[in-house]
Every structure is written in C-alpha cells, then in structure tokens.
Chains A and B, each alone.
Chain A
Amino acid sequence: MQLPPALCARLAAGPGAAEPLPVERDPAAGAAPFRFVARPVRFPREHQFFEDGDVQRHLYLQDVIMQVADVPEKPRVPAFACQVAGCCQVFDALDDYEHHYHTLHGNVCSFCKRAFPSGHLLDAHILEWHDSLFQILSERQDMCLVEGCTEKFKTSRDRKDHMVRMHLYPADFRFDKPKKSRSPASAEAPGDSGERSEGEAMEICSEPVAASPAPAGERRIYRHRIPSTICFGQGAARGFKSNKKKTKQC
C-alpha cells in the first residue's frame, strides 16, 4: 500500500481542517432500488467484528507465560541495616528494604507506634484510640474501614457488623481491632493469649503473629525466641495510657 509522500509532512504539520467542497445532493441518489445512506456505525461489545482484535489482546495477556523469565535478579548490595531508631533489620537488596520500610515504618501511629498498611487505617486508629475529644463525646464515631464508604458507628461492634454484612469482610479482619478496655485483665506479657494476636497483625509487637490454623475460637499460644537480628522497635503501648510497662526486645 503506497502512501503519497506528502502525507507524512501533513501529519507533522499543524492542526487544520480541510475547507469542505460544496455538498449538493440529488434526491435521485437515494431513490429505490438504491439504498446507500452514509452513516456512522457502532458495534456493541460482543459483536463478531471485534473477534480478531480481541484474540490479539488475549494473546498478549497470556504472552507472559510463553517467555522464559529472564529478568535480572534483584541487584544485591552490601548488607545494611534499617536506619529507623530501634529497628535493626538487615537487608541486602534495596527492593526488600523499600517494602520493609513502607510496611513497618510507613504509617506508624506516633502515640503508640503501631504500624498500619495504609493511611486510611492509621487515620481511623488515631481517631478511635487517641483522640481525647472523641473519647469525651458520648457518641462514638467509628468509621467504616472500607475506602469509599462513609458510614460511621457508635460502637466497634456495630462497625464490625456493618463491614461483615455490607462489605462481606471476614469477621476476624485483622485491622479491625476492637477498642480494649483498660482492665488489668489485658496483660501484655509475652505468651499472652491469642486473643491479642488476632487483630494486631501490623502492630510492632513482641511476637510474630501467625494465623491459627485451628478453627476460630480456639486460641493458640506462641512462644518463640526472636532471632537477635530482628528487632521490632521499642515495644508498643497497649492502650494509650503510658503507664503500662514497655517491653524492649532489642
């Protein structure tokens, strides 16, 4: 297919519309038996007209499998430690450090040092745990944790119910820890019952949290010796009263 040489020049030149030649239709043009009418055509999604292009698209999506994964390995660097005060985790690849930093030191509550996966959850936490005005008001306003939903609730129980019913979230969603009462019963010594470990996945806490493979309701107690190379920070306060004993693990 040969294109006129001036075409590329036209493309490179500025915008413009051709001055249209005069239009002058004769009614005999559309007279029977002739039936041509100039009209734009539309095709709906499933039309067969799209078959070839769709197949090309899906071949592309699938193409990743067909190619030998030849991506260069993560570039390794001499081992270095995380610079955040109190954290002595060591890395030898920058990607790993980036992920660690954002996960553990990214959205951290400055009051209680808990880390959260997103700014949204951190905001909800601060409001619910550390906002003294919030505590004074007799009407609590726990916000729904699903982004985009603006519902608010008087109790964390109500919020949980909403998230389970409306948003189909799991009842044991780890980032919806109900507000603890400040009774002496909530001890924070290592080896505490799993009830605490349930909702504190992102907390910088003294134990690696793991899901219990047992059915919900059964509590497991995890006792592990933390390897010396791992440090989780200065230990989190459990409530926002700072008279609880801080546990230093480093």
Chain B
Amino acid sequence: ARTQVRTDPSETSCPGSPPSPPTVVSNLPYEDQRPRNQPNRRYAGNAVKTNKYTLWSFLPINLCEQFRRLANIYFVGIAALNFIPEVNAFQPQVALIPICVILTLTAIKDAWEDFRRYQSDRDACLSHPRSQHGFVERRWKDIQVGDFVQVLANDIIPADILLLHASDPNGVCHMETANLDGETNLKQRRVKSPFDPLSFNATVICEKPNNNLNHFKGFLEKDQIKIGFGIESLLLRGCTVRNTAAASGIVVYAGHDTKSMLNNNRPRYKRSRVESKMNKEVLCCVFLLFCMCLIGAVGHVIWLKTFSSVPIYFIPDSDGNETPSVVAGVYRFLTMIILLQVIIPISLYLSIELVKMGQVFFITQDIDLYDKEKDMRMQCRALNITEDLGQIQYVFSDKTGTLTENKMVFRRCTIMGTEYPHTENGESGKWVGQLWSHQDTTVGRDNILPCLPLRCGMHITVYHGATHLEFFLALAICNTVVVSTETAQRQRVRDPVQSTLYDIPTSSSSVVSEDEVQGTPCKGHTRRRQTWTASSLAGPKEVHYEAQSPDEAALVHAAKAYGFTLLERTPSHVSVRLPSGTTLTYEVLDVLTFDSVRSRMSIIVRHPHTKEIILYTKGADSGIMERLSQMKSESRVIANKTQKHLDMYANDGLRTLCFTRKVQEFNYYDWLVLRQGAMAAIDRKDELVRKTAADMETNLTLLGATGIEDRLQENVPETIQALREAGIQVCVLTGDKLETAVNIAYSCKLLDHKLVGKPVCKPVCVSQEVCKNMLSGTLAQLPLYDTQEAKVSVGLVIDGRTLGLLLDSDLQEGFVQLCTHCRAILCCRTTPLQKSRVVTLLRSKLGVMTLAIGDGANDVNMIQAADVGVGISGQEGMQAVMASDFAISRFKHLKKLLLVHGHWCYNRLANMIIYFFYKNVAYVNLLFWYQFFCGFSGTAMIDYWFMIFFNLFFTSAPPIMFGIMDREVSAAVLLQLPELYRRGQHEGGYRRSTFWIAIADAFYQSLVCFFVPYWTYKGSDIDIFTLGTPMNTASLFTIIFHLAIEIKSWTVVHWVIMVGSVVVYFVVTLAFCAMCVSCNPPSDPYWTMQEQMSDPMFYLVCILTTVVALLPRYTLHALRGTLVPSDHLRARQIDNMPPHHRDLWLQEWKKLKDLCASYPSLSSSTAQRYSTAQSPSLTLVQDPSPALAQSPSLTPVQDPSPSLVQSLNPKLAPNQGLNSAAL
C-alpha cells in the first residue's frame, strides 16, 4: 500500500505561499495527517479540469462571458429600448427574439465545446497506473505532488515525474511523446541518481512550471549535496512508457502545472486583416445609422412644427399632455435606432464564422494536399485566417526539411585530408565489387573509400593508419543515437494499403541485420523514422537506430556500412563492433549536448584498453576550425585540405560536419567539478553549461569531415517560381552554411541564373561601421540595376553575423530598403531568433502580409512571428506544426494552398462581406424612406416577424453559400496563371471603394424598391402592410438577383439555395399571413400576402422594381466585361474553353507575360495594364483571329517603343497559326 516514503522532518515547517523555486518533498511521512499539514498541499492537484462550466454555473458564467462582447450589449440595449413605451418601435416581447436566438445559439455552441473538454478530461482521469510491488492503484486525479508513482511499460504517464528508479539496469527509461508533440521516436530518460523510494529523504528543488517541453532544470538536495538534473530525467504527463518494464519517481508537477497541460493551448485566435478592415466599415455603418436617426429625429421635430393645432390622429401621452417637440425628437431618435438597427450587421460576424468553417472544411478536404505517405491531410489549426492566405506578399521559408526532404544521405567524407566519395545507387552489387577492387587506388579527389569492413580491416591499418579507424569510431560514437533491439513493445501496426504504396522506402529501413551490414553496406540511411517497422521475426542481432536528427542517423548508418556498428548505447557506456569483429565498450563520462550557439556536440569516453579519456567532437566547421590545436604544421595542412574539401561539399549543396578527437590528459576531474556545479545551477544554468562545454572543446585534432546530401523535395523550383509569379517575395532563412545555402537556392531556382553576373550581394562584415558602409554602397548601386532591366533582378545573400548587425536599430531602414529591391533573399547561418526578427522587421516596416513556413523547432519563432504560420510535418517532429496555423506535409502544397485556396477564400470572404453590408443597407433603407411618409414616427410597413425572417431564413443562406462555394476562376487556371494572385495582395477584392459602391448601390436599390410601389399605390386605398408586401417581395428579389449577378459559377448547390430561398420566402410568408390573425397585435399582416398575390398589379410592380433596381449593376458588369476586362475575367473566359484551346491560350498568356516582363515599360505594373485595350501589343496576342492581328489600325500610337511591337509581330505568327489550327 505504498506510493510514498519518509522525509526530513525539518521540511514540514515549510509554510506559506509557494516559494520560488518550487520545493518538493516526499508525501509519505504525512500520509496520515490532515491535508493542511501536507507539505505539498499548495501545489496543483493532478485532477485536470479544462471545462469552464459546471451544470449550475453554466448559465450565469456563460451569459457574463457573452455580454463581454460589444455586439451583444448593443443587441440587448436595443431590445431594452423597446420596453420604453415612448420609444418602442416593435412589440417589446418580439424585439427580444433576435438577441435570444443569438445568445442561445452561442450558449449551445459553448456548452457543446465545454462538454467535449469535460469528456476528454474525464477520459484522461479515469485511467490509472497499475499496482505492483507495494504500490497501490490510484486514480489520476488523486495523485499529488510529492507522491511516488510507478508506471509500467505502455502506461501513460499521469503527471510530470522525476525519474528515480527504472527497471533497466542502466537506469534508462524510454518514452514515446507522440501524444505531446507528435514525435514518434523514443526519448530516452535516465535516472540521474538512483534512490529507493522507501528511503527517499532528499528535497527536490525545480524551476517554476513552464511549457517548454525540452527544458527542465532542478536539483536534488540531500545532506548538503546537490545533484542537478534536467529534462533527461523527467517523465512527462501524457507520454507513454516504452521498452521499460517499470519506472518510478516522485511527482514534481501535477495537473495544470504539468508541461503537457501548459502546452495544451486552444486553437489560436488571430484576427485576419480583412476582418480588422471590416471593423472600420462597421464603424461607417454606425455613422450611417447615426445620420439616418438624426434625420429621422430632426424630420419629426420639423413635421410637428407644421401643425398649428393638434391633429385628430395625434396621440397625446396618457395624461393628456403633448410631448414637447424636442423631447419627441429625442424619442424618435431612439425609435429609429431600434427600427434601423439591422444596418449594423451583427449577424455578419456569425456568418463569417460559418463561412470560415466551410472554407476550412474544403481546404482540409483537398485531395491534392493529402500526403499519401504519411496519411495526413492538410490541417487548419487556426480557423479564422483562411483569407489571409490570399494576401501573402512575403514568404519566409526554412531550408532543411522545408525545401529539402530532410532525408540525409551520406555522400562524401574526407579523412585526414584525403577525400572519398561514397556513392549509393541502385546497383549495390556492382558498387560493392567496385569498392573491393578499388581499394588500392587511393590518390586524389576521386578516391573510392577503401573497403574497411571485416575482411580488409588490415589494409586500413597498413595504408591509412589509425586515423581512419578513429574517424569511423567518432562517426559511430559521437552522437545521441539510441540503439534499440527490443522490438515487441515498439511495434507499430501499419495500414496495409499504405505499406504497399510505400514499400520502396521501407525496404531500406533502419532494420538492418548483421548480414546486411556486411553485404550491402550502404543500406539504411535513407530510412524514415515515421514508418519504422519492427518485425517480430527479427532476431536478437537486429539493430534499430533511433536518432534525434536525420544527420546523426545517416552518420551512424554510414559508420555501420564501413563496419563500425554501434551496438549499444546507455548513459554509462557505448559499444561498437569494429570491422575486425571485436567489440569495444567505451565508458561514457559525459555528453556535451548540441546547442545552436556552440553548433557542436561532444562525447567524453574512456577507452576500454588504454583507459585514456577521449573527447570526440563533431560540429559545423565554423564551430570546429577555430578550436583546433595549432601546434603541428602537419595538422594545419590537413585542416587546410579539409577546409578545401568542405568548401567543395558546400558548393555541391552538401551539409558538412567536422569530426575531431582529443585525448584529455590531466585536468579532466577539475573540469568535472565545474561541470557538475553548472548542471545543478538554476540561475544562468544554460550559460554555465555552455561555458564548461566550450572549455572542454579546445585543442582538438581534426579527424575529417563528412558531406551529407539532403535532397530537394519534389516540385520545389516550380513552387517557388509560381509564388514569385504571383508577386510573392520568397526569402529563405536557413541555419546552413552560406555555400550550401546558395547552392540549394540555385537548385530550387530561388536564385536563378539570370542573376549570375548580376551582383549577388554578399555583405559579410564584421563591424557595424563596415556593415553600414557596405549597406549604403549597395543601396547606391541598386538603381543601376533597376534601370537596366526589370526592376527586381538582384539577389541578396546574407550571413547570420551580418544579419545580426543589420537588424540593429539604425541599420534596419537600410536593410528593409535593400530587401524591397531584391528579388531573392537568402539568409544563412541564422539563429531561430534572427529568423523571427527578420520576419517581424519586414512585417512591421513594410506592412506586408507575411507567411513563414518551416518544419523544425528552430522555425517556431518565425512561424509565430508571421501573419500566417505554416508548419511542415516532416522529419523533425511536430513542434513547428504545433505552433503553426496551417500544417502541410510537402512544400509544394504551398502552391495550391496559396494560389488556389488562399485566392478563393479571400475573394469569397471579401465578396461575402461586401454583399452582407449591401444587403442590410438595402433592406433597412426601405424602412427609412417610409419614415418620410409617416411623420418620422418609426412605423414599419413590414411586419416585424417578416423582418426577422428576412434576415434569418430568406437571405441568410445565399451569402453564406456564396462565401463558401463561389469560384471565380477554376483551380487549374489559377495554378497556371499565378499572377492572378496579385489582386488579393493589393486588396483588390476588398477595397474601401468597393464598399462605398456597394452602399451607394444599396441606397439606389432601396429607393427603387420603395418608390416604384409608392408611386404605383399613391393616393389609393392601400393599407400599410399591403403596401409593405410588394416592397418586401421586390426587395427580396433584388437582393437575391443582385447576388445572382455576383455569383461567378453556378453549381447545383447554388441553384438549390437560391431557388430555395425564394420558395421559402413565399411559403413562409403565405403561411404566416394565413395563420396569424391577431397573434402579433397591433400589427396585422393577416391575409395581406394572399390579397396581393391575387392582384396582377403585384407581379407587375415586383418585376418592374427588380429590373429597375438591378439595371445599373447589370449594365455596369456588362460594360466592364467588355471595355475593361480584368485578368480574372480573361481567366474565366479561358476557363470556359474546351481543354485544348485552354492550353493554347494559357501558353500565349505566359509568352506574352514573359515578353512584357523583359521590357520595363510594359512590366512596371501588373498584367492589368497590358491586358487592357490600351495596350495594343497584348490585344494582338490575345486575339486569335489573324485578320485582326494584321489589321493596321492596331499599330501602336501611344506606345513609346514601336520597335517593341515589331519585335512582337514575328513571334505572333506561329501563335496565329496555332490558333487557326485550333479553330
């Protein structure tokens, strides 16, 4: 019955508020005491409650939350006004309906979401750890900080537990963090200092709870001795124990303090640009409403003044007095607000949410964005910025894993100044033969690496000495790759369909048997971690590598290919089998883990035979070369040669790593004391740890270097090309070397060869002063290139150190200016922080819409800094995805995501919002015009129920459908013509002018809808609601047909909803008019619709009204379609053509664009300019008829360069031929 143990009594006196840092002691001694004596009582319990409401508190809390929204207060205020008899416009009870509907709908939504959270909490807390060896079973929620908990294999860890004991003799516990960060590789955790729970009497001091999954620090204090520990000893809540029979430890964080809960953020709320712009338009509507109400109030006062005595129809108030006219004016002002409230489109917000839900649905449903290999769809993690995808101007991309596969392939290595290629190809048999036969030709750069395995191990010693051995040993040892041989617990069941589709990669998976190692040495490094299989048939000899980074996996596999098989790694030792077959087991003294500041990692081992303490270091050349021992000239020569090779690798686009070795002679133990002190520190721990590591990594001896290839993902150049045509500036920010990055940039067409000979600016400078001069010099040069050819033809390549200087405040302006002039920007050797600073800087200074895309933890900052963050779920875990707004699996998906979905979403939403504003104004103005004929008294000639229905049923579905499904240009054409995207960047879909045109149109249409019936029935015996009926109907038709003009493509859904809305209108209106005899006193619409529909005049009025109301818009569209057709219109025309014509036209379009692009006079603006009738050159090209093309009337008049057109003409000839052939 023990989950606990005893403790130091002195700790019991620890009272009061939670100290910082948190101190945890064992709970065991206090088991029988009352809760308030528990030392750990002030920490959060393990019960997790993410739901906000209980059954009882739901109503009050939810209402409170809802009333925090301004819109709801507005609604309630309006409804409350209705209860003032002097002011009310409608029956008060009925006026409450809209607000009640909205509150109820929102409450239902909130309740449902909360219920989901409640369910997931309950599910999580129901499971409990099993009991064994004196541990009792407890429910999750009963676990407290200070408890000892034991978890067994495949258990889910209930809280953050400091690992104190593991069943593994080496004190290692493996866990899978897939629930937490989506990474499926096993994480190793180890016992820092083993304790038996029953005799645990130490105090645990750790940092405050935080959400960093990869960082934790604290120490155990026992008898004045501090033992530091980090994340490597912490079992995280929500992870699963694997490959370890049992592990136990003390709970340090529970419940909401656990790292997993602190990471458990809700979907982020970002405000999209369109929405914030829309809010200004809402303010315009408020202003409009105010003006209209003011007109009403003033009009009423003036109207009252016209009477010399009290008219018979004028009602005095209840005590018989007349209200003073000014007071009456104030009352009418309020009445008008109630009457015209709909002009402020509160329901627009709800509609936008619905539209975005629909848009997200369609984006995630896109099969082109589905990744078969990972069985992953596109994910939308932020639900409300879909339309921002249509306005992107800058894309910031990571390189590794984003542009490239991040599947590392060992390509070349240089050992002691000799360079060896390592070719991997399909003909492995031949390759092996070559390998064996070429062992003697060892001179020059084209050496084949001599065969090292088993049978020729002696040759190595003879020809190359021990350095080669050391190099491969370093390859095998100096990493954090974990070997796992136990497979049963690790087995993954895979989808059969998927595995057949993905057979090829798996065949070269990490499961490499002994025989394979000898026979086909090179297999195994292209494996993908996500698809590991562990066959249950596998024998004990099978090794299985789990690497944190693909580079390390590639290196270990490469080492294995040459016979240096990493057999086992535990915290205390590492075993390697040498080609000779002997197994060396090194004692591991310490691992200096990788960090991006040092950009290297080291391992300190003790040689089993010589007992030497050896330090193996690997890292980027920048982090290594300066730390080499400079004593011998021989080693300097080697270093120079190696550097030359490294440059060559980088030029080939390979990723390079240097390997060094050092034998530590004497002062190791002095250093160890410092190191342990650093590890136990809480303050400045990172800094101290880094410093001690750097102290150790000096006087290194270079062994060699490796070149690892990282293949480009498919279609990356095409995607970048398309994005660029779409007017998007692509910047690549990478941590890689300059040469590697430039090489990749060329191969992915970021820098293209048109720029060769052009200045690819490479400001590499050391001081700010130099940097400043260089910047101003470069800026001064820029105009030269501008005038010579098309404006943006300069590529900017910049390295991290320079970037750091440029990001300083006084150089920022210049840097931004430089960026705007460059067609391509490539930043190398950047840190994560610099990446995000570049994004933030350009975003804020230029006010552009930015998108950041990346796959790794180092891109998280950048992804969060950008307007839109896109994560690639690649080889490096899920951290980028977790931080992103949208998650895709390949870089090429970005093209369709932006050019098609972004474009669509933006246009749809913009059109929908504009339409929504229009609709409300058009409808409400009917009521406003009527005020001029009822003494501004606030009478509505349309029954209030009909007004509610009008917004709720009759005209709500079409705009939502319009916002989700309208399609101006098809996906195929959008992908073919990326420049169509430019309209969204310049907010072409949603301009202030568009808004005001829509409002003006709404005013016109409402005037027509009011005055045509008015003049028809003027002077007749028509009653109020009978006059309102044709107005209402004509208004409905106008609003529906207005949308019909705007809809660009009609699918069956469009027809159903549009026709359905009209049908619903007539059915509901007729039914209501027939049923409601006096259900809504004093208004009586009873039988008015029937009365009107039996009168032919009604139809004549409605037809005339609708036609007159829509005539201007229709005509305008027709004229615009003919006189000034936009690119989009032309694209739509192309869309409507039969496929083979379409291709021809698309080709012509592109050809023309290229031509124009090479002439600044034509390319200075977007395609808009040359596609209009003013530009004769395009007119020619676009015209398929040869007769017209040859027509002399089209000779340019205003074109400044006649030669241009002449040069165009010969090019046209073949096109004409094609066209006539097509005809």
B is bound to A: no
**Residues of A that sit less than 8 Å from B by CB:** none
**Residues of B that sit less than 8 Å from A by CB:** none
